[in-house]
Chains A and B, each alone.
Chain A
């Protein structure tokens, strides 16, 4: 079955440092979504990427979708304590009207 892996599993940064999480799928995706889950909370949608090579920005967050539509990344510039949480990618398999497969998540800890 489809597998979506994320690295790293955990990252601890000082406030102001940059952070990147990578997402890799075993199959080609029709689109990829990113979610953030604060500690004790529920996943909240951040963004969706559909096109090969697509890059989208949301303030300090930059999202990329790979040319082969099998990988993606989320980069946060100058992290803040409000960025703490777990970031999940979730992909829909290409060619089917299928459900999302979530990645294993990257937990980000930010300290002053």
Chain B
């Protein structure tokens, strides 16, 4: 099992460009999450999904959109990138139907720089 994979690993964007980050998991998990990690601020939840076809906003959703068309995939989109979106992005998934009751498995991360 590959676990949770993320593509790409690194990306540099110019302000105003768009991109999509892909997260895939092969553990048949219901819950998937997108976080951003900035120095000194821990992990902040952007959006999450409790199942195929569902999405919900997290703590810092502005400027991002997500889709969960297939259970194994969770996409994070930036429509018009801004320098404030420079960060490391982590995807995670968990099994439990009660979010927070199950351990989260994290992908390796995507380092995004917006110039």
Contact = CB atoms under 8 A, between A and B. Distances in A.
Interface of A: 1, 6, 9, 30-31, 33, 35, 41-45, 48, 88, 90-93, 97-105
19 contacts: A42-B90, A42-B107, A42-B108, A43-B43, A43-B90, A43-B106, A44-B106, A45-B104, A45-B105, A90-B43, A90-B104, A91-B100, A92-B99, A93-B100, A100-B45, A101-B45, A101-B59, A102-B43, A103-B42
Contacts of B108: 41-42
A17 B33 CA distance: 36
B2 interface: no
Given A92-B101, A99-B100, A1 B42 contact: no
B48 interface: yes
B24 to A, nearest CB: 15
Interface string B86-99: 00001010000111
B43 A92 contact: no
B100 A88 contact: no
A89 B21 CA distance: 26
Contacts of A43: 43, 90, 92, 104, 106
Interface of chain B, main secondary structure = loop
Contact of A97 (B40, B100, B109): B100
Contact of B98 (A6, A91, A97): A97
A11 to B, nearest CB: 15
B106 A99 contact: no
A41 B108 CA distance: 7
In this complex, which of A91, A100, A101 has the most chain B Cβ atoms within 10 angstroms of its Cβ?
Answer: A100
Contacts of A90: 43, 104
Nearest to B101: A31
Given A33-B100, A102-B45, 12 more contacts: A30-B100, A30-B101, A31-B100, A42-B107, A45-B103, A48-B103, A88-B42, A91-B100, A99-B45, A100-B104, A101-B59, A104-B41
